[in-house]
Amino acid sequence: MSPISHRIIGAGVYEFPFGKGRPLLSSLHPVLDAIIGGWQTSGIFTYVSESYPTFGQLNATGDPVVTNPTPKKWFNTSVFATAAPYTSRTNLIVYDGLVGPHYLNWDGVLAKSFPIKERFRLEIRLEAYNVTNTLMLANPDTSVTSLMFGQTNSLRALTAGRQIQYNFRLYF
């Protein structure tokens, strides 16, 4: 058994087929084409499977796996105790069946370009990070001396609630 998780990342760009020079509605009035035509969307999907929490030197007297882990009790902490100093390690580093939370994220963009003149164009972008507003917890605390032992109340690095930003870019 290895403490390595699996990672799947996918990305894509889709240009909507509406407006001038596109398969659908190519003969729209210029005003309608400016509103409807030329939109594109892109996104990045990331999935990281559960990883194994690693344990330091402890005294272990049973199986720490619980059937339905919660952020307040990710594993059975009563099977662990502090090891005596200068003793050999007897517990496992990882336990079969004891895995941390998985990570699932989707970031997306909706954009449109407006040609202004031959050399100029304006781009409007709406970017959303963590579109699904999914809570992505880190592995539980595995330090037996910690007050948070067996709990996972921190977020994975670089994750937060949904964030949305918009911007205007002038290309010349």
CA distance 20 to 146: 63
pTM of the entire predicted model = 0.71
Does pLDDT of 67 surpass 70?
Answer: yes
Model confidence at 114, pLDDT cuts 50, 70, 90, reads confident
Residue range 153-168: mean pLDDT, rounded: 81
Q: Is 149 left (phi over 0), alpha (psi -120 to 50) or beta?
A: beta
Does pLDDT of 82 surpass 90?
Answer: yes
- DSSP H helical ranges for the chain: 30-36
Model confidence at 49, pLDDT cuts 50, 70, 90, reads confident
Does pLDDT of 2 surpass 50?
Answer: no
Q: Name the residue with tokens 């990281």.
A: 48
Structure confidence at residue 10 (pLDDT): 97
Spatial CB neighbours of 63, under 8 Å, sequence gap ≥ 6: 76, 79, 95
Structure confidence at residue 153 (pLDDT): 81
Does pLDDT of 9 surpass 50?
Answer: yes
DSSP 3-state of 35: helix
Structure confidence at residue 167 (pLDDT): 95
Task: Quote the mean pLDDT of the chain.
Answer: 89
Does pLDDT of 1 surpass 70?
Answer: no
Domain boundaries, the chain: 7-171
pLDDT: which is higher, 111 or 51: 111
